[in-house]
Amino acid sequence: MAIEATGAVNAYRAAIERLAQTPGNSEAGQAKPSDFSAMVQNFAESAVEVGKQSEQATAAAAAGKADINSVVLAVAEAELTLNSVVAIRDKVLQAYQQILRMPI
């Protein structure tokens, strides 16, 4: 349980840092149309990077070159990231379906 909480805290901290670095978030109320697409792209790229890091840690553990605690932490963070991606995808699909149900 402690590992999952640590992974969640790290993932949310990383997400906040990415949002702070996204153009438009530093300017109050002046969002540009490309800001959302940049945010989504940054989130997707970071999710892929977390998966790659988890795979590298797992491969290092299989070779006997990594600490098992760091491997478990990396895998938990990758799992949390994947769950976040799936939840966001589900919400986007729900929103799209609601838009399709709107009367014209």
Quick: pLDDT tens for 21-73.
766 555 555 556 578 788 888 888 999 999 999 999 999 988 988 888 888 99
More confident residue, 1 or 91: 91
- How high is the pLDDT of residue 3? 56
Q: How far apart are CA 104 and CA 102, in angstroms?
A: 6
Would you list the domain boundaries of the chain?
2-101
* Plot region of 24 (φ>0 → left; ψ -120 to 50 → alpha; else → beta): left
Residue 94 has pLDDT above 80, yes or no: yes
Q: Please classify residue 78 by burial: count the beta carbons closer than 10 Å to its beta carbon, then call 0-12 exposed, 13-18 middle and 19+ buried.
A: buried
Q: 98: pLDDT confidence band, cut at 50, 70 and 90?
A: very high
